[in-house]
A and B are shown apart, each in its own frame.
Chain A
Amino acid sequence: MPDWLDVVVRSFTFLIVLFLVTKWLGKKQLSELSFFEYVSGITIGSIAAEVAMGLERNIFNGILGIVIFAAAPFVAGLVSLKSKKVRDFIEGKGTVFIKDGKVMEDNLKKEKYTTDELLELLRKKDVFQAADVEFAILEPTGDLSVLLKKENQPLTAKDLNLAVAPIKEPQNVIMDGEILDEPLSTIGQSRKWLNTELDKLGVSIENVFLGQVDSYGQLTVDLFDDKLQVPSPQEKPLLLATLKKCQADLELFALETKAKEAKHMYTKNGGKLQGAIDKVTPLLRN
């Protein structure tokens, strides 16, 4: 067998082996959460490259080495699932760099991080002032996780005591002009319904690049033709506006009528509608 053919055979063999090994180890190996996985990942790659090009080496020894280096993190992962102690030993523990807003200089020294490197890690987290940080921990992967002081955290609806409409994940029902049936049945709708919604927007299915349905059954689309303007869903705001109009009408009737009983009925129902409006406003606001 000529040398070049040998290289071709070896390369394809190791491509397949590497593919199977990465499938076997799964996503955890890719995320390289522990130092162990990081090192074994590099070693597996090196062995494959070495044996694919080094023609004097035995293919099966190479595969054996790869399998062992893949099996070790796999077994370590299984064991660390069971025991916290093993987990701490294999995957390592984080080191606290900032606690109660104060930098822990001793811990920095222990991990051999300079002040500049700490500031660099903080800047990667969009923190330019160390005083803004309440707590920061160096993860075993080398990432810095930062908890900002409460006043520096982004404002949330919870902070404002604001009622917001709950949402679920949107479903992609149209991709590249093709209807996807599975997401459509997940939200319990049919192709017929989708076609009606598209007609309402005034677009044809071939022109739709991406179509998504939110958790309130509203369809939003992106078109291939970017010059066309697509109206945003108006159903919910329209419903809220009509509800408010009816409530105002009822109050007006209550003021206008001379019949005592009718006045009472209008006032009562006006109050009922006001309560209903308060309840659904967060849901119907876009």
Chain B
Amino acid sequence: MTVGSQVKQCLSSLKSIEAGLSSLALRTQDIEAKRNLHETMLVTHEVVLDLEKRVGELEQEELQYKGF
């Protein structure tokens, strides 16, 4: 596995975490817990954005793996 695909795997895991946290935050009844989960979701989203940029850079370097 190339570095590029490893980063992509990590990126998709993070996206799944983001969605999981979001759905958990929506279902949670306690307001404090709801806010904590939502804030964590936002932090995860920032990381996702950074990683997406990095994936773009890596695709430039390893053109043959583009798109996967």
A246 touches B10 (CB 8 A): yes
Contact flags A245-269 to B (C-beta < 8 A → 1, else 0): 1100110010011000010011011
> Which residues of chain B are within 8 angstroms of A235 by Cβ–Cβ distance?
20, 24
B20 touches A239 (CB 8 A): yes
Q: Does A276 contact B (CB under 8 A)?
A: yes
In the complex, A166→B24 CA distance in Å?
Answer: 14
| Of the residues A168, A276, A283, contact of B44 by C-beta under 8 Å | A276
Q: Does B54 contact A (CB under 8 A)?
A: yes
Size of chain B's interface in residues, with CB distance under 8 A?
29
In the complex, A283→B32 CA distance in Å?
Answer: 10
B47 touches A273 (CB 8 A): yes
Majority SS of interface residues in chain B?
helix
In the complex, A152→B14 CA distance in Å?
Answer: 46
B40 touches A279 (CB 8 A): yes
In the complex, A268→B6 CA distance in Å?
Answer: 18
Smallest CB-CB separation from B30: which chain A residue? A166
> Which residues of chain B are within 8 angstroms of A257 by Cβ–Cβ distance?
3
Smallest CB-CB separation from B21: which chain A residue? A239
Smallest CB-CB separation from B7: which chain A residue? A253
Q: Does A187 contact B (CB under 8 A)?
A: yes
Majority SS of interface residues in chain A?
helix
| Of the residues A256, A262, A280, contact of B37 by C-beta under 8 Å | A280
B51 touches A215 (CB 8 A): no
Smallest CB-CB separation from B57: which chain A residue? A262
B-contacting residues, A175-233, CB 8 Å? 187, 189, 215-217
> Which residues of chain B are within 8 angstroms of A275 by Cβ–Cβ distance?
43
B46 touches A272 (CB 8 A): yes
Q: Does A242 contact B (CB under 8 A)?
A: yes
A268 to chain B, nearest CB (A): 8
In the complex, A166→B16 CA distance in Å?
Answer: 24
B-contacting residues, A128-174, CB 8 Å? 165-168
Contact flags B1-43 to A (C-beta < 8 A → 1, else 0): 0010011001001101100110010011110110011011001
- Give the 8 A-B residue pairs with the shortest CB-CB distance, closest first: A217-B27, A215-B29, A168-B29, A249-B10, A166-B30, A269-B47, A276-B40, A276-B43
